[in-house]
Amino acid sequence: MRPFDYVRTTTLDETCQLLGQDGDSSVRALAGGTDLLTLMKKEISVPTQLIDLKRLPDLPSGITSTAQGMTIGTLTTMTEIETNVQLQEKYPLLAEAAAVAATPQLRNMATIGGNLLQRPRCWYYRNQLVNCWLKGGDECQAQDGENQLHALFGGGPCYAVHPSDLAPALLALEATVQLRGPGGERMVPLAEFYALPEEKRRQETQLEKDELLLNIHLPGLPAGTRSTYLKAMDRKVWAFALVGVAAIVRLEEQKIVDARLVLSGVAPIPWRVTAAEQALVGATANEATFAEIAEFALADAQSLSHNAYKITLAKSLVRRALTMLTDEG
């Protein structure tokens, strides 16, 4: 790791000012450090100054119930999300997503804010000898290279997949993020917060350099709504999703009245398959419907040279999730 200064700030304003101060983005915010420090050790991120967010008194931590739903402070750890009883009851998919992410040690350290803002695990990106497009280079080495773990949707110029398990669950819940910059606060739906990287913004979110993530707000769900997060991995634990699915379904007399489906591991951002959701509404819950929906959800998938297996995986996960959620037993 290159040397850097470590600072503790006392107010949100001071923190935003410091973050925005430098032209070459060398001031970075440190939360749990589980992603940032791995990038710094490989010198993919080389900040000259780290601001310790965990000591910032006004930065929210913890899970609270609101009139409609719940609010999660950015410093809340993944362990807290996994084990919070109210959250398990109201939003099982989110607790499940936390429980199958990383390892107990990492979940004790990692914050939800850091989880949403973590960078891709693409092996070219994580290799300090490769200056790929996402890091400011000219080309994407994965496009015609080793792209087993890469995107089926939204690819180009970058084909990396978003590594978070929490993000797809939160997107399915139609969560909103509360951001704070030098000019004040703004609320952004997660669906807009995540945006495919582009020429002038080579990152996966709309977060500005001088902005802090404060809270994640979860709207309420109608009674009787069921949800789950399923994740396919190379091994049973301690692996990023090859493909994941966050699914929410509400059933009335065997007819589906509400459905949300978000895939992970298939695009540079969590990928909502709205057309498949719409096709589910009004349909009768049975295996034939689910098989059709699974085909439909993956109809626009564009595989690269080595990742077509993800299409099969994703279809199975979609079918399995829908079957589980509509099983009367």
Partner 1 sequence: MSSKRLLTTLAINGIEHELALEPRRTLLDALRHDLQLTGTKKVCDMGDCGACTVLVDGRAMYACLLLAVDCTDRQITTIEGLAQADELDPLQQAFIEADAFQCGFCTAGQIMSLKGLLNETPAPNDDQILRAVTGNLCRCGAYRNILKAGRLAADQVAHPEEARHADSTH
Ligand X SMILES: Cc1cc2nc3c(=O)[nH]c(=O)nc-3n(C[C@H](O)[C@H](O)[C@H](O)COP(=O)(O)OP(=O)(O)OC[C@H]3O[C@@H](n4cnc5c(N)ncnc54)[C@H](O)[C@@H]3O)c2cc1C
Which residues contribute to the site for ligand SF4 (CB under 6 A)? 120, 122, 124-125, 132-134, 140-142, 150, 158-160
- Under rule CB under 6 A, residue 118 binds ligand X: yes
- Identify the CA nearest to 172 among candidates 261, 264, 267: 261
- Under rule CB under 8 A, residue 29 binds partner 1: no
Helix (H) / strand (E) containing 190? helix 190-193
Instruction: Kindly tell me the number of DSSP H helices and DSSP E strands found in the chain.
Output: 12, 12
**Hey, what are 225's tokens?**
């709504």
- Under rule CB under 8 A, residue 3 binds partner 1: yes
133 binds, among partner 1, ligand X, ligand SF4, none (CB under 5 to 8 A by kind): ligand SF4
- Under rule CB under 6 A, residue 197 binds ligand X: no
Give the type of residue at 225: T
Pick between residue 27 and residue 152 the one whose CB is nearest to partner 1.
27
Near ligand X in 3-42, by CB under 6 A = 28-36, 38
212 binds, among ligand SF4, partner 1, ligand X, none (CB under 5 to 8 A by kind): ligand X
Angle at 206 between CA 50 and CA 131, to 5 degrees: 65
Size of site (CB under 8 A) for partner 1 = 27
Which one of residues 64, 66, 103, 284 is an interface residue with partner 1 (CB under 8 A)? 103
Q: Which stretch binds ligand X (CB under 6 A): 85-93, 104-112, 132-140, 197-205?
A: 104-112
Phi-psi region of 252 (alpha: psi -120 to 50; beta: other; left: phi over 0): beta
**Hey, what are 66's tokens?**
């609101």
* Nearest-angstrom CA–CA distance, 25 and 48: 9
Q: Which stretch binds ligand X (CB under 6 A): 113-121, 168-176, 184-192, 302-310?
A: 113-121
Question: In a 3-state reduction of DSSP, which class is residue 198?
Answer: strand
Instruction: Identify whether the C-beta of residue 321 lies closer than 8 Å to the C-beta of residue 230.
Output: yes
Count of positions (residues) in the chain: 329
283 binds, among ligand SF4, partner 1, ligand X, none (CB under 5 to 8 A by kind): none
- Under rule CB under 8 A, residue 129 binds partner 1: no
- Minimal CB distance residue for ligand X: 114
Instruction: Identify whether the C-beta of residue 114 lies closer than 8 Å to the C-beta of residue 81.
Output: no
Give the type of residue at 158: C
- Under rule CB under 8 A, residue 6 binds partner 1: yes
Cα radius of gyration (the chain): 20
Q: How far is the CB of 88 from partner 1 (least distance, A)?
A: 16
255 binds, among ligand SF4, partner 1, ligand X, none (CB under 5 to 8 A by kind): none
Binding mask 230-269 toward ligand X (x if CB under 6 A, else -) reads ----------x-----------------------------
Angle between helices 309-326 and 287-297 (to 10 degrees): 140
| Residue whose token pair is 């399995």 | 320
- Under rule CB under 6 A, residue 216 binds ligand X: no
DSSP assignment, residue 133?
G
Where does this chain bind ligand X (CB under 6 A)? 28-36, 38, 53, 74, 101-102, 106, 109-111, 113-115, 117-118, 163-166, 212-213, 240
